Amino acid sequence: MDGHFARSPASPRGVDTSQPSVARMYDYYLDGSNHFAADRKACEELSALAPSTKILAQNNRHFLRRAVRYLAQECGIRQFLDHGSGLPTQDNVHQVAQQVDPAARVVYVDKDPIVLAHGRALLEDQSRTAVIQADMRDTDAIMGDPSVRRLLDFTEPMAALFVSVLHCIRDEDDPAALVRRVVSAMPPGSFLVISHLVSEDPATRQATTDFMQRSTGGDWGRVREPREVAAYFEGLHLVPPGLVEISTWRQDTDLVRKQPGDEWIEYGGVARTSG
């Protein structure tokens, strides 16, 4: 195995590194270094099941950057709440937003303690950015967190990000209701950014969902249908081109690779709340 991947990071106390983590699997697909043997093995098995997954993950990261840049440059958004942010990589939300305006403020939310440890180390000298450890389903706890209250002004428009995370929410926890709670907590004129794993094929949805549920010890929701993702945006004003396979959303570079397969895709877009 390549030496880069052989040097696994130190594990925070209490973290079971024998159990794959969605955040660390995503880090592996983005050529990061904050993952363990179990994460790599799960990614290799997932890639055998869905060969386009690595490019899908990379395209999803490009979508995040484009969406944040669009909101900061063209919509004047200066505050971002990133749910299920994952491990730090290049061009994080705060880096993209603060390239437009150094005064932009960002709060990252993730429940993985490794994300918290690495995020806080990265942001040690950042007064306008914070990372909090919280379950993204607990909207009240997130909105009431001291870092959120310190950095985000709930009288001014903001953006809530759910980028490649809502498929981790089980049906019984109602991801649509989660989105509604967050939207209702934001002031008028705010924005919602979502990308979500979807498939039109029932067999593919079942196979990929079953694999991820097994691999993560049940810490996973479901690969859904495009119509289910569209329902998350009900009552909001979609930014053109609307809901699409995310590699095609407002492309601004030729570096984004076309999604090579359609066994599953990341589907989503950006929408504005009323006001």
Give the residue extent of every domain in the chain.
3-272
Q: Which region, left, alpha or beta, applies to residue 217 given φ > 0 means left and ψ of -120 to 50 means alpha?
A: left
CA distance 234 to 227: 11
Which pTM does this prediction carry?
0.88
Architecture of domain 3-272: 3-Layer(aba) Sandwich (3.40)
Q: Are 105 and 122 in contact, with CB atoms under 8 Å apart?
A: no
pLDDT, tens digit (0-9, with 9 covering 90-100), for 102-159: 999 999 998 877 777 766 777 666 789 999 999 999 999 999 999 999 999 999 999 9
pLDDT, tens digit (0-9, with 9 covering 90-100), for 245-265: 999 999 876 666 666 666 789
DSSP element (H, E) containing 42: helix 37-49
